[in-house]
Amino acid sequence: MIALIAAVAENNVIGAKNDLPWHIPEDLARFKKLTTGKTVLMGRNTFQSVMKRLGKPLPNRTSVVLTRDPNEKFPDGVLAYTSLEAALRDFKEKDLYIIGGGEIYAQTIAHADKLYITHVERSVEGDVYFPKFRMEDWSLTEEEKHDGYRFATYERKNQNPRL
C-alpha cells in the first residue's frame, strides 16, 4: 500500500518556509500513530524540516529521502534515493507513507492507494501546495470532525498497480 499523508489548507497550502503553517497537536498525534513502525518517504526539504524540528530523523520509522544529489550525506539509518521509481520498487512489499513535500506528493499521488488528509478549514499563506487531484477517483472511507479541521481517509476507487 502507498499512502499520502498531509495536512492541507482550503487553498491547498501544506507548507511555508520549510515548516508547517499551523500547529495542530492532534494532527501530529495522528501522523505519529499512522506512521510509527512504518516506512516514510519524503523529499530532502521535508527531511531538513524534520531535522530542524526534532534534531534527528523521525523515531521508530524507516526514513527514505529522495534527493537529486547522489553524494549528499544523511544520518545513519536514513536511506537516500535519487530515483522515485527505485524507491517504490525497493519498498513494494511494505506499506509506504509519503509525507511530503509538494513535489513528492505530485510525483506519487498517481501511485497512491490511500490518502490520509487533515483538512485545515482555513486558507493560509504558504509556498508549498498539495497537488490537485480528481476527488471522483477516491472514496471517503473515514471522517472525524474537529473544531477548525477534520481528519479524512480516502481510498482509490480503482486500484493502481505499482511500478
Q: Return the CATH number at 131.
A: 3.40.430.10
Query: How many domains would you assign to the chain?
Result: 1
Q: Long-range contacts for 134-142 (Cβ within 8 Å, ≥24 apart)?
A: none
- The answer as to whether 18 is a domain residue is no
What does each of the 163 residues of the chain score in pLDDT, given as a tens digit?
999 999 999 999 999 999 999 999 999 999 999 999 999 999 999 999 999 999 999 999 999 999 999 999 999 999 999 999 999 999 989 999 999 999 999 999 999 999 999 999 999 999 999 999 999 999 999 999 999 999 999 999 986 555 4
Burial status of residue 87 (CB atoms within 10 A of its CB: 0-12, 13-18, 19 or more): buried
- The answer as to whether 97 is a domain residue is yes
pTM value is 0.94
- The answer as to whether 81 is a domain residue is yes
- The answer as to whether 6 is a domain residue is yes
Q: Which domain holds residue 68?
A: 2-12+25-156
> Measured in Å, how far apart are the chain's first and last C-alpha atoms?
12
What does the angle CA 128 – CA 140 – CA 147 come to, to the nearest 5 degrees? Answer: 65
- The answer as to whether 57 is a domain residue is yes
- The answer as to whether 140 is a domain residue is yes
Burial status of residue 119 (CB atoms within 10 A of its CB: 0-12, 13-18, 19 or more): middle
